[in-house]
Copies of this chain bind each other. A is one copy, B any other.
Amino acid sequence: MAHYIYKCRDCGREIDPGQSKDEQIYLCPDCGKAGKNSPLEGVLEVLYDYSLITKSLGREEFLKLPAGKPWLYPELWPLGYSRKNNSVLLDNISSELPERLSLGNSSLFQFRNGADRFLVLDETRNPTLSFKDRASSLVALKALQKGIGEIAAASTGNAGSSIAGISARLGLKAKVFVPSAIPAAKRIQIQAFGAELFIVDGSYDDAFDLCLEISEAKGWYNRNTAYNPLTIEGKKSAAYDIFISSGGKIPDILIVPVGDGVIIAGVYKGFRELLELGWIEKMPKLIAVQAAGSDALVRFISEGSFSFVPAETIADSISAGAPRNLYMAAAGILETGGAAVSVTDEEILKAQSEFIRITGILAEPSCAASYAGYLRLKKTDQINPAENILLLITGNGMKDTASLEKWNPLPPVKSTVEWMQELGVK
């Protein structure tokens, strides 16, 4: 019997993974629904026996683990494993493989800007330079463990290049469905990793639905975000990394950019587990930041119902008219006493420029939205600067140089003689 189960967040149905040979488990078989341009219904969660875990795994012992290697705590990870002496062996997976998936520097960086202080979790240095590698790693390891060779994903860009790069690292084949508005650098990154690319003349929502249909017909393992519960489960590791890197003193407030709502849901799940394990005393407040042109979660929180509006924003990674994990994201915000705010594209670009110059971390527009949201909330006194505030920086700006170029046009090219004159030398 596995050490985890899947449980439907809507109807409560429990699923034992042992009943599915290849464990291609997606939405709830009873109430699951992936409607066009709608949030998913019947999203599954992975659950463990937490009281059993605390008997073998202590808080202080856990805090000594290195960040960025979630397979080192397999009791909280839905993969078959055994422990031998001090090492963890994942079933059917050669031990050199997980190491290739180590996340980037998961330290929390502390910055000051004038009197302000904030912490940053820098996800721009993951294997394919985005937060999405947390989800892709788990999905790909599951595929490897179950002998599945092909993984499909719909993506605005980062999830696609992530599953492409992670698959290349493990010898799997990736099939990626993207909207035609994908930034060139992300498109090229996906192709370079050797993935098969399907560019859809339509939106991300169209690519999402097409990917579901095709992968079901072809039998490809589907990594669509939230549809595959392991995407949420993979992303929870950020909460554990924050726990480890802060030495157990987690921040008071987390500011998270939100598109489909899976990152914030994953982080919420991770902290809830830490609370259940008795390793933290209270949840951090989760604050979602959306682009004004893609603000379904903000509207859901204030109005209490979902309505589809086609997304339009420069922040492609958080462009989603129908956030697939809307209900879980909203639960995370409401249960932690957080909030959801939207920021304009202008605020995002301005925040991107300021954030990069202050921190030296090349945030892409979507995650610069975190900083834009932070500035907005500070200005309107909605956050207390005395609290410990952490910004999630989820993707590298080098994947979208066109956005960077908007505020960094080509400067003049001059001869050495002209530069000497201009600088008043000789």
Contacts and interface: CB of A to CB of B under 8 A. Distances in A.
A169 B109 CA distance: 10
Interface centre among A185, A192, A357 (most CB of B within 10 A): A192
A183 to B, nearest CB: 10
Contacts of A200: 413-416, 419
Given A210-B420, A398-B185, A410-B187, A360 B100 contact: yes
A371 to B, nearest CB: 14
B412 A199 contact: yes
Copies in the complex: 2
Contacts of A397: 189, 192
A193 B355 CA distance: 9
Nearest to A195: B357
B362 A411 contact: no
B128 A127 contact: no
Nearest to A217: B425
A134 interface: no
Contact of A105 (B102, B170, B192, B201): B102
A348 to B, nearest CB: 14
Interface residues of A, number: 74
A7 interface: no
Contact of A401 (B184, B356, B420): B184
A316 to B, nearest CB: 15
A218 B398 contact: no
A426 B212 CA distance: 13
Interface stretch (A160-168, A271-279, A332-340): A160-168
A188 B360 contact: no
Given A188-B405, A200-B414, 10 more contacts: A99-B109, A100-B109, A104-B105, A125-B125, A167-B360, A189-B398, A197-B411, A198-B414, A210-B416, A398-B398
